[in-house]
């Protein structure tokens, strides 16, 4: 046992820092804005509701990043999904069919990107940049105006979006003395299912482990008999499908399709993953960390919103500062690890 290094490994420390940061931020919010209702359970649930789509997208992106890849097309894909849903349902196609269609498009789009990255060995950044252009443009091709989804357009979708799932505890009395029961939306349930499913997939399936292997050392992975090209392709398909699921969640929140929707969502997802301890160099990371990354982003937005006086750009700046801190910490850890060898 003499070769074994004592203590935690650096990745666990990063995850702990992330979770600690979330708790500190949230506690800070509770202390500062407790009088505005920040302490209510609903505030936390609202963070989940607002970011349900982002959780799905970020999970997918985490998978791609594990293989040392990147996919910046996801935000645009979400916008295209929303637009497809809105326009499709407006023209009379039923909601379930449209949702299925969105997923199929996700698969097809992922296949194309995955082929270019895996088999033609084009840099993932360039491929997904083109993918981003394509999806944004296609969104506009479908419709250049904002299309709202109303009850008359699709009853099913409308009901789905407005369905409240009541949580039986944590209620509070509002100013009028009415008991407010905290609730979540269906999107949160979808997001949490996705989160758990991906977590289990990463831990308990061959494919999940092979993602870490490819990201850790693609040459080694190939020498150990893994089909690296196919794995890269599959992970892009999975990422696009998860982004499409995220797109449906996003649409259930916004109930509209528009060209400018979800701009910068890919960067929110990337920063969430990085803050959650996923290395952009691949091989290290976990959707659990990403989840906390999303929560941190959400908490910052929520605090800024609750404050009401801070400029709207503060969440972006704070997230960027966090991103900076985490990237520098990661690079220091990497340097320490190199030196210790």
Partner 1 sequence: MEENVVLTARGISMTFPGVKALENVDFTLRRGEIHALMGENGAGKSTLIKCLTGINDFEAGEIHIEGVNGPVKNHSTREAQNVGISTVYQEVNLCPNLSVAENLFIGREPMTKLHTIDRKSYNVRSQKIMDELGISVDVTQNLENYSLAIQQMVAIARAVDMDCKVLILDEPTSSLDDEEVEKLFVLMRRLRDQGVGIIFVTHFLEQVYAVCDRITVLRDGHFVGEYPIADLPRVKLVAAMMGKDLNDLEEIHKESLDVKNAALEISAKGLSHTGTVKPFDLDIHKGEVVGIAGLLGSGRSELARSIYGADKANTGTLEVGGKEVKINQPIDAMHLGMGMLPDDRKAEGIIADLSVRENIILALQAKKGMFKLLSRAKQEEIADEMIRTLQVKTPTRETLIKQLSGGNQQKVILGRWLATNPDFLILDEPTRGIDVGTKAEIQKLILKLAGEGKSILFISSEISEMLRTCSRMAIMRDGEKVGELDHELTQENVMKAIAGGEQES
Partner 2 sequence: MKKKSVFSRLSSSNLLLPIISLILVMAVNIIFDIASGNNPFSFFMITMQNTTSNGMVLYGRIIDILNRGSEAAILAIGMTLVVSSSAGTDISVGSVMSLCASFCCMLLAGYGVSSTNDLAVPLVIGVLAGILMGVVCGAFNGTLVAVFEIQPMVATLILYSAARAIGLLLCNDLIVYVRNDSFAFFGSFLGPIPTPIIITAICVIIMTVVLRKTALGMYIQSVGINRRASRISGLNSTKIIFLTYVVCGMFAGIAGIVNASRITSADSNNIGLYLEMDAILAVALGGNSLGGGRFNLAGSIIGAYTIQAITTTLYALGVSTTQAPVFKAIIVILIVSIQSEPVKAYMKKRRAVKAV
Binding footprint of partner 1 on the chain (CB under 8 A): 1-5, 9, 200, 203-206, 209-210, 212-213, 215-217, 219-221, 223-226, 283-284, 337, 341
- Rounded distance between C-alpha atoms, residue 9 and residue 296, angstroms: 23
Q: Which of partner 2, partner 1, none does 317 bind, CB closer than 5 to 8 A by kind?
A: partner 2
Which among partner 2, partner 1, none contacts residue 205 (Cβ within 5 to 8 A by kind)?
A: partner 1
- Helix ranges, the chain (H): 10-33, 41-50, 52-66, 74-90, 95-114, 124-142, 155-162, 186-204, 206-216, 218-223, 228-254, 265-275, 287-307, 314-339
Helix, strand, coil fractions of the chain, as percent rounded to 5: 70, 5, 25
Instruction: Decide whether 5 or 309 has the Cβ nearer to partner 1.
Output: 5
Q: Which of residues 230-289 bind partner 2 (CB under 8 A)?
A: 259, 264, 267, 270-271, 274, 280-281
By residue count, the chain amounts to 341
Closest CA to 55 of 187, 204, 158, 186: 187
Minimum separation from the CB atom of position 324 to partner 2 (A) = 5
The DSSP letter of residue 205 is S
Provide the minimum distance between the beta carbon of 338 and partner 1 in the complex, in angstroms, as a whole number. 11
Is there binding between residue 123 and partner 2 (CB under 8 A)? Answer: yes
Residue 141 interacting entry, from partner 1, partner 2, none, C-beta within 5 to 8 Å by type: partner 2
What's the first-to-final CA gap in the chain, in angstroms? 18
Residue 244 binds what, of partner 1, partner 2, none (CB under 5 to 8 Å, by partner type)?
Answer: none
Q: Does 323 bind partner 2 (CB under 8 A)?
A: yes
Inter-axis angle of helices 52-66 and 41-50, nearest 10: 60
Q: Work out which of 32, 97, 100, 141 binds partner 2, going by CB under 8 A.
A: 141
The partner in contact with residue 209, picked from partner 1, partner 2, none with C-beta cut-offs of 5 to 8 angstroms by kind, is partner 1
Q: Which does 206 bind (CB under 5 to 8 A by kind): partner 1, partner 2, none?
A: partner 1
Residue 8 interacts with partner 2 (CB under 8 A): yes or no: no
**Residue 138 binds which entry of partner 1, partner 2, none, CB below 5-8 Å type-dependent:** partner 2
Smallest distance from partner 1 to CB 224, Å: 6
Is there binding between residue 111 and partner 2 (CB under 8 A)?
Answer: no
d(CA 277, CA 29) in angstroms, rounded, equals: 23
Instruction: Give bridge partners of residue 166 from the DSSP assignment.
Output: 183
Q: Which residue has the tokens 């982003």?
A: 297
Cα–Cα distance for residue pair 274/128, rounded to 1 Å: 18
307 vs 34: CA distance, rounded Å: 11
Bridge partners (DSSP) listed for residue 183? 166
337: which 2 tokens?
């690890």
For the chain, how many helices (H) and strands (E)?
A: 14, 6
Is 138 a residue that touches partner 2 (CB under 8 A)? yes
Q: Write out the residues near partner 2 by the rule CB under 8 A.
A: 70, 116, 119-123, 125-127, 129-134, 136-141, 144, 259, 264, 267, 270-271, 274, 280-281, 311-317, 319-321, 323-324, 327-328, 331
């Amino acid at each position: 046992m003499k070769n074994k290094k004592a203590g935690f490994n650096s990745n666990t420390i990063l995850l702990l820092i992330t979770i600690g940061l979330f708790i500190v931020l949230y506690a800070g919010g509770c202390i500062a804005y407790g009088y505005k209702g920040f302490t209510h359970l609903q505030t936390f649930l609202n963070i989940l509701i607002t970011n349900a789509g982002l959780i799905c997208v970020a999970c997918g992106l985490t998978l791609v990043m594990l293989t040392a890849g990147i996919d910046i097309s996801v935000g645009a894909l979400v916008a295209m999904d929303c637009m497809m849903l809105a326009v499709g349902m407006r023209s009379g196609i039923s909601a379930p069919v449209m949702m299925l269609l969105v997923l199929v498009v996700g698969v097809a789009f992922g296949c194309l990107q995955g082929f270019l990255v895996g088999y033609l060995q084009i840099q993932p950044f360039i491929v997904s940049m083109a993918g981003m252009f394509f999806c944004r443009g296609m969104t506009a091709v479908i419709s250049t105006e904002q299309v709202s989804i109303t009850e008359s357009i699709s009853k099913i979708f409308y009901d789905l979006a407005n369905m409240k799932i009541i949580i039986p505890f944590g209620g509070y009395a509002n100013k009028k003395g009415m008991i407010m029961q905290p609730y979540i939306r269906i999107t949160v349930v979808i997001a949490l299912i996705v989160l758990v499913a991906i977590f289990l997939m990463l831990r308990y399936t061959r494919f999940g482990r092979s993602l870490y292997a490819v990201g850790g050392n693609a040459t080694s992975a190939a020498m150990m008999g893994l089909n690296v090209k196919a794995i890269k392709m599959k992970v892009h398909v999975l990422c696009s499908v998860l982004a499409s699921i995220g797109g449906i969640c996003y649409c259930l929140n916004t109930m509209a399709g528009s060209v400018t929707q979800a701009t910068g969502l890919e960067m929110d997802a990337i920063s969430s993953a990085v803050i959650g301890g996923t290395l952009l160099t691949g091989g290290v990371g976990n959707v659990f960390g990403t989840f906390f990354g999303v929560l941190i982003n959400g908490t910052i937005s929520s605090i800024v919103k609750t404050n009401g006086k801070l400029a709207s750009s503060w969440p972006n700046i704070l997230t960027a500062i966090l991103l900076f801190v985490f990237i520098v910490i990661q690079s220091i850890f990497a340097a320490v690890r190199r030196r210790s060898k």
